[in-house]
Every structure is written in C-alpha cells, then in structure tokens.
Structure 1
C-alpha cells in the first residue's frame, strides 16, 4: 500500500499504548480504514502508541452519533479496533484505549499521551503477561409447571378456602426467595474460587434475559485478570465449579486487559 501522508483533513486515531523496546510489527489487521497503514508513534523510553491517520470528517460528533445508531456499522468499527488491540497485545504488554480515541494531529497525540506516561507504565507493569477472562454464571429457573402449581389461581376464594389460598401464595413466595438465595450463594462460591486464582477481579451488573422465553437467570457477571501461565488452571477450575454448584459457568477469553488498565 502506498504510504498515506497525513493532511490537515486527517485526524490521528489511537488504538493502544504498548511497552516495547522496538516498535511492534503491525502487519495483519487494517484497522478502521484501509486508506492508511497502522504505524507506531514513539512516546518515550519503551513506550509506543499504535495509531492510524483517519479522515477527520468521518469522526465528527454528527458522524459518530450516526454510527452509534447503525448497529452493523458500529460493530464493524468495534471489531476493527479490537483486532488491532489483540494483534498488538499478542506481541507485547499493551494498554487498550477506548473506541474512537482521536487527536487533531500527531503532535497533539504525542503530547497528550506522553503526559499520561506514568499511568501507562503503571498499568503495563500491572497487566504484563496477564489476560482478561469473563465469567458468567446462570442458574436454571424453576420449571413453569412448578410455578403454575404453586401459584394461586383466580381471585381470592371465600373464607372456607382462604387458608389454602394463603398457603399456596406463601409457598410460591418462599420458592422464589430460596431460588434467589441459592443464586446469590452460587455466585459467591464461583467468584471466590476464580478470585483466588486471579490477580484482580471486577464484578459487573448481571444481565437480564436475552429473550423472553429464556429459562435461566444470570447471577454472576464478572471479569478477572489472570496470569497467562494459569489459563489451563482456570479452565479446570471452571469445570470443577460447574460440577460443584450445578450452575452454568460460562468462561470467555483470553482478552486484552480492557477492564484493568485504569486501576493503577
């Protein structure tokens, strides 16, 4: 590809900051545009940003708001950004930067990022040779038949059957409370187990059901910073936790440590 010469109409898109004695080899992903190559921007001793020249008009507030409303287009940009971050992280310790981190020109990018060099070095020291792993835990909801059997049917009956009605209503409430309590207990067991292996962890709000007919409840949504040489141990632990708790324990990763580079 012919070298792209930045023009006044260009902006500098920054993907990540990495620690490398030599600028990383950037062959592979093309980034968010195929009009210019990825390149290294030296920030100081052993600190390099991975950047790309993009058309400034493609990243105005109006253009970005339109992109946010276009799910396929937004996904394309997010995937392109993530591919670059992963390619760099596979070669050297890396701090991923948020989607659409831009500067007006290279000089401003270098000056702004260099001011953050202490923070970048601390984050790189903390996350070097680690990956981020996601753990989601689901418990199966009570079968619809059991709920229907426990639920009061129709309007409240007369005095003669009032006790039976209240008993069934109380039974349904108790079942729901036991289910909630069991879910909390399982989440704590899984979190404690994985946290004992991880260097750091972060719990996120559980997601609701993805589809109305989904018959499971998410009780844990967390992410963990795990040393690269403990990945196999993590997989074994996840299987052990599935067997111990009877819950669905979903493991995803490894990822660049997006969730942990700000904790320095």
Structure 2
C-alpha cells in the first residue's frame, strides 16, 4: 500500500497562466500542488497534492479531526491553495479532507462528473461569495420606562417588570426581522444564489463577540454588483437599536460548490 494519498483542493477551470501559477503553490504538509486533468478534456481540472496516507486514512482522519491544532493547519493550507487559485480562475472548492488513493482514482471522479463540474464552474464564473450575519443584543435595546409605583404587592410588581423586560427583548428581535428583510431584498436585486447556514452557537459564537447570531447567510454575487450589494446590506440595521449586520468577503464560493460526493447542502436561487 502506498505511503501517499491524493488530496483534492478544488475543481478549477483551465486559464492562461494557471499551470505556472499552480507550480508555485504549496499545500498541506508543504507539498507541491499539481493539476490532474481528464483524458478527454483539459478545460476542467483537479487541483491536488500528495499527503501522508498515515494521516488521511479513515481511522487516522477521524482522530485528527478532533485535534484542533492539526485541523487548523490543514484548513489554512486548504484555504490558501483555493484563495490563490481563485485570483486566477474560477474554482469549485471541495470539502476539507477530500482524499483519494491516488491520482488515477481522482481522475476517475473528475471524468465521471465532468459535465456537472463544467456547468457549475460556468455558473460561478465572475462571482464571489459574501457572508452576511445578523446579531441581536437585547441589552442594547432601549429600556422600558419605569412604571409608576402603584402599591402593587411584590409578586405582582415583579411580574410587571418581567413583562416590560420581555417587551423590550421582543422589540429587538422584531428589529432584527426588519434588518433580515432588507438584506434579503438586496439579495434578490444583486445575488444569483443564497445559502442559509446554521446560526453560530456555543464556543464559536462566543469567539465572535457580543450578540446572538440570528441570521447566517451566504450570497453569490457578480463581481459587477458587489459594491451595490454591500452598500445596501451594511445599512440594513440603520436606525435599529440592538441589531448589528456584519458582511464578510469576498471569498471563493465555498457555500455554492457541490462536493465530489454529491452530498451536502445545495444553494438556492434567489427569486427575482
């Protein structure tokens, strides 16, 4: 059994200077990145490198995916190759740790999906991904005016205060819904597709900062429309207390790429 396996970063569209540029890239474990072509068509290719089989066979990979330091290093290398290639051509990013026994197996998969990959690359050409997150901060909502003392018993006074606090919280979530509607309106005007991701929770949300993430969407936007899209999205929370809209990008279209296995979430077209 070989000590090396073939790691696939992305499906890419052939472009001028791509071969020379790819030859300068280093991937996981500092391995040189190469292009694998099909036997009949070199317009669609796989970007790959060799990786140690001892790290990427199924059992070992399961263990490594629980090692955050190892996982971060692999993710950075994976992302670095894709971002460098996206600056030169259209890329179809693949899932982290997409591996094959050898180049021949990778080529078979490329051949089998050639038509689908070509169609998807054509769809993604001249487009980038923008992430849009909406956060609510109920503590930033305007406090309800203090109710006058009416000689209520302590229990009833407590319930009254709780209702006032809940009303203030509800107003923030209603404001977040308004912001979401404005963002979605911008998406309908300027984006070709949208993907709704799960909202961030737990340690990941804590690392981002204050606020509860209530919307976590990705939009596929033409390069010619990015400025207009961002102008409308970033003002989506104007005048809305306790609501924050955050746009990040541009990225290679990770959220809109179909993995080689054919599994995963599919992007939805943004209705006109």
Q: CA 1:219/1:8 → structure 2, altered by over 3 Å: closer, same or farther?
A: closer
Per-residue CA deviation, residues 148-186 of structure 1 (Å, 9 max, x unaligned), is x79xxxxxxx98555434433332333333332222222
After TM superposition, list the pairs within 5 Å mapping 1:206-225 onto structure 2.
206-208=199-201, 210-211=205-206, 215-225=210-220
The match for 1:200 is 193
Residues 36-91 of structure 1 show CA distances to partners (whole Å, capped at 9, x for unaligned) of 42111112421111111222112122321232222121111001001111111211
Contact 1:136/1:222 (8 A) holds in 2? yes
Q: Does 1:107 align with 2:101?
A: no
Judged with a 3 Å threshold, the aligned counterparts in structure 2 of structure 1 residues 70 and 47 are, in CA distance, closer, same or farther, namely same
**Higher radius of gyration, 1 or 2:** 1
Give distance in 2, aligned partners of 1:191 and 1:91: 30
Q: Which moved more, 1:20-29 or 1:51-60?
A: 20-29
Q: Counterpart of 2:161 in 1: which secondary structure?
A: helix
Count of matched residue positions in the alignment of Structure 1 and Structure 2: 248
Q: CA deviation at 1:242?
A: 4.1
Alpha-carbon shift at residue 101 of structure 1 (Å): 1.0
Q: Is the 8 A contact 2:182 2:233 kept in 1?
A: no
Asked whether 1:84 is paired with 2:81, we answer: yes
CA-CA distance at 1:33 after TM superposition: 2.1
Q: 2:22 aligns with which of 22, 26, 47?
A: 26
Mapped to 2, the partners of 1:244 and 1:237 lie a distance apart of 14
Secondary structure at the counterpart of residue 121 of structure 2:
helix
Q: More deviation in 56-65 or 21-30?
A: 21-30
Look up the match of 2:123.
126
Q: Residue 9 of structure 1 corresponds to which residue in structure 2? A: 3
Normalising by the residue count of structure 1, what TM-score does the alignment of the two structures yield?
Answer: 0.82
Q: Which runs of no fewer than 5 residues in structure 2 stay unpaired?
A: 259-265, 268-272
Per the normalisation by structure 2, the TM-score is: 0.80
For 2:223, the equivalent position in structure 1 comes to 228
Q: Which residue of 2 aligns with 1:3?
A: none
Structure 1 stretch displaced more, 78-87 or 192-201: 192-201
1:74 aligns with one of 53, 68, 71: 71
Conserved 8 A contact 1:194-1:237: no
SS of structure 2 residue aligned to 1:206 = coil
- TM-aligned CA deviation for residue 102 of structure 1: 1.0
Cα distance change of structure 1 residues 103 and 161 upon mapping to structure 2, 3 Å threshold: closer
Q: Which residue of 2 aligns with 1:190?
A: 183
1:167 is the counterpart of 2:160 = yes
Structure 1 residues 160 and 74, CA gap change in structure 2 (3 angstroms): closer
Rounded to whole Å, the distance in 1 between the matches of 2:196 and 2:84 is 27
Tell me how far apart the structure 2 counterparts of residues 162 and 8 of structure 1 sit (CA, whole Å).
74
Pair 1:254-2:250 in alignment: yes
Looking at structure 2, the residues matched to 70 and 170 of structure 1 have their Cα atoms a distance apart, in angstroms, of 46
What is the aligned counterpart of 1:140 among 120, 134, 137? Answer: 137
1:224 alignment partner, SS class: strand
Distance in 2, matches of 1:162 and 1:33, equals 64
Contact 1:187 1:219 in 2 (8 A): no
Whether the 8 Å CA contact 1:31–1:38 is kept in 2: the answer is: yes
Question: Contact (CA 8 Å) 1:12, 1:52: kept in 2 or not?
Answer: yes
